Amino acid sequence: MTQPSRTPAVPQDAQSLRGVLPMLILCQLQSAESYGYELVVRLQNIGLTDLATGTVYPVLSRLEQDGSLTSRLVASTAGPARKYYSLSEAGEAALDLATARWRSLTAIVETGLGVTTTEDLAGEDQK
């Protein structure tokens, strides 16, 4: 389980993470179906090293109830049947919308961060 080198070593903000977690879950499940714990490990592998399982499982439940995810029970030799989640058509649309919103927001934030530096503000004052 290694964190990608491009990920900055800054503690993750729980509130921000909660906002983007459904989108990331939908995205991960778009590429391959998963069961709960496996999905947590996949998310940790993309850099969310502090991600708690207790944060992910309720989101899975909510997304399934919303119709964004479908699930199926797969027989397991080690115990009871395991619940695998995959993206539904509604989930595909929800992911597209969430991705578009995220890109729009990050563009605004990037712009905002770019124009509100101290130097820029000082320059505006001198004019």
Partner 1 sequence: MNTQTIEARSSFGVWRRRESYLFRLELWLEESLSSSERRSILREIRDNVTVDAAARGIDAALDSLGSPRTLARSFAETGRGSRPSWNRAIYWFTGLLMLWWTLAFTYTAGMLSALLDSGAESAESSFLGLPVSAFNRESGIGIGWEASSVVALIPLMVMIAAAILAGRLWRVRIGRR
| Binding stretches for partner 1 (CB under 8 A) | 35-38, 52-55, 57-58, 61-62, 65, 76, 78-80, 82-83
Smallest distance, Å, CB 46 to partner 1?
A: 17
Closest CB to partner 1 among 57 and 102? 57
Smallest distance, Å, CB 64 to partner 1?
A: 9
Distance CA 70, CA 88 (A): 6
List the structure tokens of 72: 């199926």
Closest CB to partner 1 among 76 and 99? 76
Smallest distance, Å, CB 91 to partner 1?
A: 16
Closest CB to partner 1 among 46 and 82? 82
User: Nearest 5°: phi and psi at 86?
Assistant: -145, 165
Smallest distance, Å, CB 9 to partner 1?
A: 21
Distance CA 48, CA 18 (A): 12
Report whether 50 contacts 7 (CB < 8 A). Answer: no
Closest CB to partner 1 among 35 and 102? 35
Contact residues for 86 (Cβ-Cβ < 8 A; gap 6+): 29, 33, 69, 70, 71, 72
What one-letter code names the amino acid at 36? G
